[in-house]
Amino acid sequence: MAEQSPEIKGGGSLILAWQVRNKRILMVGGGEVAAGRIVNLLNADAKVTVVSPREGLNPEVAYRIKHNQVTYIDRKFQPSDLDDPSIVMVLTAVDDPVAGSEIYKLCKEKRIPANIADVPPECDFYFGSVHRDGPLQIMVSTNGKGPKLANIVRRQIAANLPSNIGDAISQVGVLRRKLRKVAPGIEEGPKRMQWYVCAVI
């Protein structure tokens, strides 16, 4: 039995699809890196609060603020920004590494997961390179070691996917919901799976 067990290869990350819909995320910084993070958060339907002086805002971040896509606080970060109990995650993208480290320490004290941009040791989680087509999301992660390389690998994977894969997955989702209505019981799971496989194949 032991011979069939997979070999443990430490040093990886636990890759998850973190559901942040309607959850409050604090973004400290308003530059180019912050702009990319904000897009990811808004695509995940998160409620984003941006803390950054107005003079340092990236044009895209300014656009999000102008159109009320994020909540905006026009100043530098203050420790009291972490007092909101609804905050479930903190991201920083600031040019001051000392300030980033201090924010990370404060987050650890409050047990709030944090990502300090470009400082892998001070990240509870990493952002990968993501390909999205409707409901399909594929992330390539290098655990903070090579973001540019992750982007190259992600593009190669995406180039080999069928052009209509997102629509196909959406239709599969519709089928699954219909089958759950026809055979809703837990004990009917094998029956649903059989119908599902026949329909997809």
- What residues are labeled active site? 118
Residue written as token pair 């989702």: 173
Q: How many CB atoms lie within 10 A of CB 36?
A: 16
CA 88 – CA 30 distance, rounded (Å): 19
In 44-182, which ranges are continuous DSSP H helix? 59-66, 97-110, 147-159, 165-182
- Name every residue whose Cβ is closer than 8 Å to that of residue 29 and which is 6 or more positions away in sequence: 51, 52, 56, 91, 92, 93, 94, 117
- Name every residue whose Cβ is closer than 8 Å to that of residue 45 and which is 6 or more positions away in sequence: 20, 21, 22
Give whole-number Cα distances, 2 to 8, 9, 10, 11, 89, in Å: 12, 16, 18, 22, 39
Helix (H, G, I), strand (E, B) or coil at 125: coil
Q: How many CB atoms lie within 10 A of CB 158?
A: 17
